[in-house]
Amino acid sequence: MTKIGRPMAGKVLIQPLAAEQKTSSGIIIPDSAQEKPLKGKIIAVGSAKEGEKMEVKVGDMVLFGKYSGTEIKVDDVDYLIMNQSDILLVIE
């Protein structure tokens, strides 16, 4: 397993949760029609930018914008790296 580095100031690394495979009524959604996940778990947090504090921590579950972040793959695992400001909500 490769150790993931630390994000730069103001950035977070998120592991998106898997997209829904079925609708609430039980209809199976094909891969080509699945929505991009909007929820994930924070894996790593960079230091705070000057003048702002990091509001999130490793392990937080968060919601983020549909087109937020940059997709990266490490050891066949998909991650998103994004600015803390792209996070919309911390799920408690």
Domain ranges within the chain, ordered by starting residue:
11-91
User: Residue 10 has what pLDDT?
Assistant: 94
Please check the confidence at residue 76 and state whether its pLDDT lies above 60.
Answer: yes
**Phi/psi at 73 (5° precision):** -130, 130
pTM of the model: 0.78
What are 4's two structure tokens? 């993931």
List beta partners, residue 11.
83
Segment 6-56, tens digit of pLDDT: 899 999 999 998 765 666 677 766 655 555 668 999 999 999 998 999 999
Query: CA geometry: angle at 35 spanning 76 and 91, to 5°?
Result: 80
- How far is Cα of residue 53 from the mean position of the Cα atoms in its chain? 19
What's residue 1's pLDDT?
Answer: 46
Confidence of residue 67 (pLDDT cuts 50, 70, 90): confident
Tell whether domain 11-91 is in CATH 2.40.170.20: no
Contact (Cβ atoms closer than 8 angstroms) between residue 65 and residue 35 = no
